[in-house]
Structure 1
C-alpha cells in the first residue's frame, strides 16, 4: 500500500501559509513512485488536509486544497479528507475494511508526502496501529517538511518504522 500525505496545491504556493520550501523537488519522484504503485496494482491512498474552519463548507473543494494535478488520484484510488493532522479513527476503520482482502497480499506500507514531522509522522503511527502486521517504511527522498525532518526520521525508527537509506 502506498499512502500519499497532503500533496496539495497550496504547498507549492510561496504566498500560502501552507507553503513548504523544497517540496517542488519531491513531485517528479512521487510521480514515479505512484506510477510504480499503479503498475504493481498496489492500493493507493491519498490524504487531503482541510483546515477545520473549512469543514463542511464549499471551501473544502477550493483549488488550493486539491491534490497536485501531476500526481492526482485515479477513480479507483482512495482519497480521505482529514481536518487535523491524522486520518480520523472512523475513516481508518473504513479503510481497513475496504482493503482487507487486497492488503493481505502485500504487507508493505509506504508513507510519502508532506509535512514530515507532523502529518507524515502522525499518519504513519495511526496506520501502524490500524495495520499492526504491516512493514511500514519511509523513503527520506519522498517526504519533505519545514523543520524537524531529521528528528522525525529518528522518531520513525523508534516506532519500528523503517527509514530507507
Structure 2
C-alpha cells in the first residue's frame, strides 16, 4: 500500500503558510514511486488536508493534489481536517478487500514532522502487523525532519 500524504498545490506556493521549499524536489521521486505502484497493482491512497477554515472551499486550486501526481479514478482520496486520518477513515481503509494480505505500507509526502508522522502512527494502530516504512527521498518538511525520522524509528517504522 502506498499512502501519499498532502501533496497539494499549497506546499508549492511561496505565499502560502504551508509552503515547503524542498517540496518541488520531492515530486519526481514520488511520481516514479507512484508509477511503480500503479504498474504493480498496489493500492494507492491519497490524503488531502482541508483545514477547518477552508471546509467550504475544499475545491480551491491550492487544496488540490499537485498535477504531476493526480489520482486515477480507481485510487482513494481521503480528505482530512486535522493532521491525521479520522478513526472512521482508518476503519474504511482496513475494510477494503485490497488490504487483505498487505504486509507493507509506505508513506510519502509532506510535512514529515506533522502529517506524515501523524498518519504513520494512525495507520500503525490499525495495521499493527504491517511493516511501515519511509524512504527519506520521498518525504520532506520545514522543521524537525531528522528528529522525526529518529522518532519514527523508535516506533519501529523502517526508515531508508
TM-score > 0.5 by shorter chain? yes
Secondary structure at 1:61's aligned position in 2? coil
Task: Please state if 1:155 is matched with 2:151.
Answer: yes
State how far apart, in whole Å, the 1-side matches of 2:126 and 2:72 are.
24
Task: Please state if 1:121 is matched with 2:117.
Answer: yes
Q: What's the CA shift string for 1:74-127, capped at 9, x where partnerless?
A: 0000000000000011111111112xx322333110000000000000100000
State how far apart, in whole Å, the 2-side matches of 1:85 and 1:159 are.
18
TM-score (norm 1): 0.95
Q: Give the gaps of 5 or more residues in structure 1.
A: none
Considering only aligned residues, what root-mean-square deviation do their CA atoms show, in Å? 0.8
Which residues in structure 2 correspond to 1:58-137 (within 5 Å)? Answer: 59-98=57-96, 101-137=97-133
State how far apart, in whole Å, the 1-side matches of 2:110 and 2:14 are.
15
State how far apart, in whole Å, the 2-side matches of 1:106 and 1:94 are.
15
**Count of matched residue positions in the alignment of Structure 1 and Structure 2:** 160
2:8–2:63: 8 Å Cα contact kept in structure 1? yes
Q: Which residue of 1 aligns with 2:21?
A: 21
Q: CA deviation at 1:132?
A: 1.0
State how far apart, in whole Å, the 1-side matches of 2:77 and 2:126 are.
17
State how far apart, in whole Å, the 2-side matches of 1:129 and 1:72 are.
28
Secondary structure at 2:19's aligned position in 1? coil
Q: Give the gaps of 5 or more residues in structure 2.
A: none
Secondary structure at 1:122's aligned position in 2? helix
